[in-house]
Structure formats: structure tokens, C-alpha cells
């Protein structure tokens, strides 16, 4: 039998996102959590991926270490060298920096939905299309699995806007664009 996957109820994720706002973090939710929020799923599995605009996770590491202490989490580094806060049950918050994602076109980070949390605060959540391409790029970098991307494609279904995908792909240089198209096609996106 496989290892148990840590899960958080969406309401718990909303509280974590609200706490980050209260602490002054300017961020965008991406990854599987973005899909869970936009699709109004009941839970988020494994982790909460955050692209933090400020404080910069690479330049202000002490801020994130102090946050881990406050939340009672272990502090480690994620696959791209940013802070990873790990709760006792294995659920984590991964912070990624704009400065460490040099191959991510900055314009793609402007493609988000504004979601109102139950307490009234507004959080930026990567659009379905942006989340899909960011995960595809992680697969190309070998920091995410093809199975994760296949799960994204299956979860999004027909909700994805193909013309938005095409526009976002134009933000990448030709070589990266061709790789991303190949990766998302292999994952079942046509």
C-alpha cells in the first residue's frame, strides 16, 4: 500500500491564504491548489504552491523561516531552492520566487483570477491555463511528474480555454514553446 498523502480541507487552505495576506505576503497561488480553488473542490492534496512576489523567498529567507516557526512547521528547501514549510502530517507550503524562475515569462504571472476568501480578503490564483503551462514547464524541468500534469488535464477537462493557452504559449521563446506543446499533448491536452 502506498504512502498516505496529506490533505487539507479547502476551508483550511483559505485560512492559510488569509494568514499569508495578514503577514504581508504578496503572492499568487499556483499548482494543484490553484485548480482546487478555481474548481471549488473540497480538498487540496500534498502542498500549497505559492509564487511570492514579496517578500522575495530567495532574498528574505529569514521572513519565511520565522513564518515556519510561527506555524510550527519544519523549514526545508523546495526543488527550486525556495522555502518549503512542512507540517507534521507532511502537508507543505512551497514558496517560489519570481527571481528564481528566470525561464518563466513574467507576463504569465499576470494571468490570474481574483478569488474572494470567506473572510472577504482577495487572493490571486493562477488561471487554469497559466497553472497548466507552469506545471508543464515544471515537467520539462523535471521538477514535477508527467502523472501530475495528466491529473491537471483530467481535472480541468473542457473548462480550459484553448485560445488562452495559445496566447500564453506565445510568451515563451520558440524552443520552450515547442517543448511545452509536446509535454501538454503527451499529458492528454489536445
Does a structural domain hold residue 38? yes
3-state secondary structure of 145: coil
CA dist 102 and 162 (Å) reads: 25
Contact 46, 6 (CB under 8 A): yes
Does a structural domain hold residue 2? no
- Tally of structural domains, the chain: 1
Domain that holds residue 139: 7-186
CA dist 111 and 46 (Å) reads: 24
DSSP-derived secondary structure letter, 23: T
The domain that holds 126 is classified in CATH as 3.30.460.40
From first to last of its 190 residues, the chain has per-residue pLDDT tens of: 456 789 999 999 999 999 999 999 999 999 999 999 999 999 999 899 999 999 999 999 999 999 999 999 999 999 888 999 999 999 999 999 887 665 678 888 899 999 999 999 999 999 999 999 999 998 998 888 999 999 999 999 889 899 999 999 999 999 999 999 999 999 999 8
Does a structural domain hold residue 1? no
Does a structural domain hold residue 66? yes
According to the model, what pLDDT value does residue 29 have? 97
Does a structural domain hold residue 54? yes
* Total residues found in the chain within this entry: 190
Does a structural domain hold residue 159? yes
Does a structural domain hold residue 133? yes
What is the value of pTM for the model shown? 0.91
Amino acid at each position: 500500500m502506498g504512502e498516505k498523502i496529506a490533505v487539507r480541507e479547502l476551508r483550511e487552505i483559505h485560512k492559510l491564504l488569509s494568514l499569508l495576506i495578514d503577514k504581508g505576503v504578496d503572492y499568487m497561488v499556483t499548482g494543484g491548489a490553484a485548480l482546487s480553488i478555481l474548481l471549488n473542490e473540497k480538498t487540496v492534496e500534498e502542498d500549497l504552491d505559492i509564487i511570492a512576489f514579496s517578500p522575495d523567498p530567495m532574498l528574505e529567507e529569514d521572513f519565511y523561516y520565522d513564518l515556519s516557526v510561527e506555524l510550527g512547521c519544519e523549514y526545508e528547501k523546495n526543488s527550486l531552492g525556495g522555502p518549503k514549510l512542512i507540517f507534521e502530517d507532511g502537508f507543505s507550503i512551497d514558496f517560489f520566487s519570481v527571481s528564481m524562475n528566470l525561464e518563466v515569462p513574467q507576463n504569465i504571472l499576470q494571468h490570474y483570477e481574483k478569488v474572494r476568501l470567506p473572510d472577504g480578503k482577495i487572493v490571486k490564483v493562477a488561471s487554469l491555463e497559466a497553472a497548466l503551462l507552469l506545471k508543464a514547464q515544471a515537467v520539462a524541468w523535471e521538477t514535477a511528474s508527467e502523472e501530475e500534469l495528466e491529473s491537471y488535464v483530467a481535472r480541468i477537462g473542457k473548462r480550459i480555454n484553448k485560445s488562452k493557452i495559445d496566447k500564453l504559449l506565445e510568451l515563451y521563446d520558440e524552443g520552450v514553446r515547442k517543448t511545452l506543446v509536446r509535454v501538454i499533448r503527451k499529458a492528454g491536452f489536445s
